[in-house]
Amino acid sequence: MLKLADHWVWDSWYATDDEGRHHMFFLRASRALQEEGRRHQRASIGHAVSPDLADWRLLPDALVAADAPAWDDQATWTGSVVRGDDGAWRLFYTGVSRAEDGKVQRIGAAVSEDLVTWRRLPGPLVEADPAHYERYGPDSGWFDEACRDPWVFRDPAGDGWHMLFTARAAGPEPARERGVVGHARSADLERWEVLPPLSRPDALGFGQIEVTQLHCVDGQWLLLFCCGGAEASDARRALGETGDNYVVPVEDLLGGFDIAKARPFEHESLYAARLHDVDGVPHLIGFRNIEDGGFVGEIADPVPVRWDGTRLVRR
């Protein structure tokens, strides 16, 4: 568990270094804001290290908002960390700007040799392409332009890299059914081509498909994501699903995802959970969200999990 007395902590993502230590990167914002709803536009990216995902030691923050004017001068949000063929680590992250009142999301990157000291790369690298994705505007029917939460992974055939990201399709479906899994591709982690989404709007869908991740559990590849109850489709609400982490079994990592098959992972308050292996055992780790009507804002203890053939369940 990671609980900070002076900061809320929420979305997190992980990397393991050459010595087997687990690095957690997470969103943080000062509790002095008093109203937790203000945290998003004040978020920076914190950093901690642990031998076991349980006992964490804080390290210097990885990234804060850039000096204005910049595309990421308001706040820095969720991302992922990968190691390139050159041995350097890259942190892909979301940024929003003051000039756009934090409404338009874009994706950039920073590079590090040691996972501790990070240098921003010129950006942004990825933004919503109107040929495939909804842009923010008076007719969009949504409260922002979704292009965030980059999850970067190697091409299964060794041909470069892929990125999944939170995105939305432009109509005509109802607004809370138009969340899609965005897709981009790169040969070198520096230049990215935005491609059509890997999922489609669906009546059993979501307004936004947040914090995506691909991970293999017990031989089965899974797409993990989350969506708050307020952004779920009417059909999902009718099932009583509110603020859940979802799992979709995947047969082809690039063949498209059937979001209608998403099933929630049952937990009392966990949100924006990630899968991360410890000694070969997959663990689900995320933040404590709403409990007893209030926001908690701390990283929960990891939950060992397994795939039972139809669902992700506690081990």
Q: Model confidence over 158-187: pLDDT tens digits?
A: 999 999 999 999 989 999 999 999 999 999
Number of domains, the chain: 1
DSSP 121: P
- The pair of structure tokens assigned to 125 is 């690298």
Residue 298 lies in a domain: yes
Residue 1 lies in a domain: no
Residue 36 lies in a domain: yes
DSSP 237: H
Average pLDDT, whole number, for the chain? Answer: 96
State the residue for tokens 């960390």.
Answer: 81
Which string of DSSP letters, residue by residue, matches 75-110? EEEEEEEEE-TTS-EEEEEEEE-TTTTT-B-EEEEE
Task: Please write the tens of the pLDDT for every residue from 233-286.
Answer: 999 999 988 778 999 999 999 999 999 999 999 888 899 999 999 999 999 999
Question: Greater confidence, 116 or 1?
Answer: 116
In this structure, the strands spanning 312-314 and 303-307 are: antiparallel
Residue 108 lies in a domain: yes
- Which residues are within 8 A (CB) of 282 and not within 5 positions of it... i.e. 6 or more apart? 215, 217, 218, 275, 276, 304, 305, 306
Residue range(s) defining the domain that contains residue 282? 7-314
Return the CATH number at 108.
2.115.10.20
pTM over 0.85? The answer is: yes
pLDDT at 54 over 90: no
Task: Please write the tens of the pLDDT for every residue from 108-156.
Answer: 999 999 999 999 999 999 999 999 999 998 878 899 999 999 999 999 9
Give residue 141's pLDDT: 82
Residue 2 lies in a domain: no
Residue 114 lies in a domain: yes
Residue 152 lies in a domain: yes
| Phi and psi angles of residue 103, each rounded to the nearest 5 degrees, phi first | -85, -20
- The pair of structure tokens assigned to 7 is 């900061």
Residue 237 lies in a domain: yes
Give residue 171's pLDDT: 82
